[in-house]
Structure 1
Amino acid sequence: MNAIEAFKVQYEKLNCESAQAIIVEKLSQVGLAPKLYGVFNGGRIEEYIPSECATVDDLEQIELSLAVMRKLARFHSLDLPLEKLPKQMDFIVSMEQFSQELDEREMEEYSLEDQKCIKEIFKFENQKELTWVNKIISRISKFLVPSHGDLHPNNILLKHNYESIDDRVMLIDYDMCGYFYRGYDIAYFLRMRRTWNQN
């Protein structure tokens, strides 16, 4: 890796960390995340909240699971400074860029086996397919909401000091968040509340 590539990697990492910090700050303002006290290269300083991670047994309590769902509903209703594109569809953008930028000179950088695979891929009408998929996405994007993306018990704090069941629950670790469909978080949570292994 040369100096320019190293700088690019570091720059992208800092941009990603900055975006996450902005999101956490916005969420903390509405009580959906711990307060953010500072950001540094490689991490953040956040409020310490006396609490413990939820367990599968905790989430068997229907009142607690409902409180998690209410917190999630509040999160889903926010307007976050994120690209409103389904996060799991990022590969489409990458594929589109790849297909546009690839030329014969760049093909030589790949092994013969990889070149063969790439040529097979480009036998398909990729650009036409990508255009079609993007058209579909643009039509369904209005149904997208901010998605936590990783709502398992370890990312649900149960505060030691709280005023209500809803106040007891704090969602954390928004590093996987992006715009996606509401049902994804709900289905993921319902699955993980029964199957998560915390050992």
Structure 2
Amino acid sequence: MDSVPVIVVSGNWPNDSEGVGDLLFNRKDEIRTFEVVSRYGHGPKLLGRFAGGRIEEFINARMLSAADLRETAVSARVAAKLREFHCINIPGDRNVVIWDRMRNWLRQAKSMCTSEDSAEFCLDNIEAEINLMEYELHKERKKQEIGFCHNDLQYGNVMIDEDTNAITIIDYEYASYNPVAYDIANHFCEMAANYHSETPHILDYTLYPGEEERRRFIHNYLSASGKEPKEEDIKQLLDDAEKYTLASHLFWGLWGIISGYVNKIDFDYTEYSRQRFKQYWLQKPKLLSSFSS
């Protein structure tokens, strides 16, 4: 007799009672994404749905650690899997989401913040920064590739089967169409984090990958299509990804402000936001020199 597969039951969403899902992402969109991604063979299989949750396939794998992302072989597999993920065809329009999502989060953050917090994070100036990035990084770059992006590719959202080395990307709350350079940039930024340390909110940007490591990841990413990438394509994506780190800093900085008001998890969201905004202002003159303040 065949053994019964082990499954995971995802019941009532733990953060919804605190309003996290309503404010930061659309739970219905996340469920729809899960269903489509599952049909494409990514992530756990969807085995069933019920009111308030779903039944997922159990994945015989472990979550990556922060150190795993620096392993050359693991990083290459993550790059190849990300390329596959970006090619998923989600029904509907393919509009880039990141800019309007940040504007929406900015409005929410400003409505929640005390005047002191609003002044500290310069929230009255952030919409101009979003507009600047959208123009410089997106509207002026007509040829950039748009794909279905995960938008939160930190090590905790990647699993590896230690028998087969197969990579699985999980958790699609923030997934949407965006420039693929943004998704890669966000992944690079996440290498500064270790969410399982004694101070999970502290980011160490000395761990941000150097040019050689970033180039290797992008080479592996582009090679996943089956062809050796052109040097000019590697250079272009390398440059685009570096600039899109600015969008990542603002995105998660705003996320941290909102989360600090609505999320009860033991995590210093405010300090996390400070670090992301600080990094934005530090890197902007280097990456957008012609538009620096």
Would you say same fold, with TM above 0.5? yes
Could you state the TM-score of these two structures normalised by the residue count of structure 2? 0.43
Alignment-derived partner of residue 118 in structure 1: none
- Quote the residue 1:69 is aligned against: 79
Shift of 1:174: 0.9
- The equivalent residue for 2:48 is 38
- Whether the 8 Å contact between 1:82 and 1:178 is mirrored in structure 2 is no
Look up the SS of the partner of 2:159 in the other structure: strand
Quick one: structure 1 residues 87 and 41, their matched pair in 2 at CA, closer, same or farther if it must change by over 3 Å? Answer: farther
Partner of 1:148: 150
Checking the alignment, whether the CA contact within 8 Å between 1:80 and 1:146 is kept in structure 2 is yes
For residue 179 of structure 1, give the secondary structure of its aligned residue in structure 2: strand
Secondary structure in structure 1 of the residue aligned to 2:44: coil
Q: Sort the Cα spacing of 1:26 and 1:91 in 2 relative to 1 into closer, same or farther, 3 A.
A: closer
Q: CA deviation at 1:197?
A: 2.6
CA distance in 2, matches of 1:92, 1:57: 30
Give the drift of 1:32.
1.4
CA distance in 2 between counterparts of 1:148 and 1:91 reads 14
1:55 aligned onto 2:65: yes
Deviations 1:73-114 (A, max 9, x none): 0111121125422212225997xxxxxxxxxxxxxxxxxxxx
CA 1:174 to 1:161, structure 2 compared with 1: closer, same or farther past 3 Å?
Answer: same
Q: Rate the CA distance shift 1:142–1:42 in 2: closer, same or farther, 3 A.
A: farther
Amino acid at match of 1:60: R
- Look up the SS of the partner of 2:95 in the other structure: coil
1:182 to 2:184 alignment: no
Q: Over aligned residues, Cα RMSD in angstroms?
A: 3.6
Q: Give 1:140 shift.
A: 4.4
Question: 2:84 is matched by which residue type in structure 1?
Answer: R
Task: Look up the SS of the partner of 1:180 in the other structure.
Answer: strand
The yes-or-no answer on 1:26 pairing with 2:24 is no
Question: Which segments of structure 1 move beyond 4 Å, counting only runs of 4 or more?
Answer: 91-94, 139-142
Normalising to structure 1: TM-score of the pair? Answer: 0.61
The number of equivalent residue pairs is 150
Report SS of the residue matched to 2:152.
coil
Aligned to 2:100: 90
Alpha-carbon distance in 1 for matches of 2:173, 2:102: 21
1:155–1:173 contact (8 Å) kept in structure 2: yes
| Percent of aligned positions that are identical | 26
* Counterpart in the other structure of 2:110: none
Partner in structure 1 of residue 194 of structure 2: 196
Matches within 5 A, 1:80-159: 80-90=90-100, 140=142, 143-159=145-161
Aligned CA distance change for structure 1 residues 91 and 31 (closer, same or farther; 3 Å): closer
Change (3 A) 1:197 1:18: closer
Query: For residue 198 of structure 1, what is the amino acid of its counterpart?
Result: H
Match of 2:168 in 1: 170
Q: Which has the larger radius of gyration?
A: 1
Greater RCO (Cα-Cα under 8 Å, separation 6 or more): 1
Query: For residue 173 of structure 2, what is the amino acid of its counterpart?
Result: D
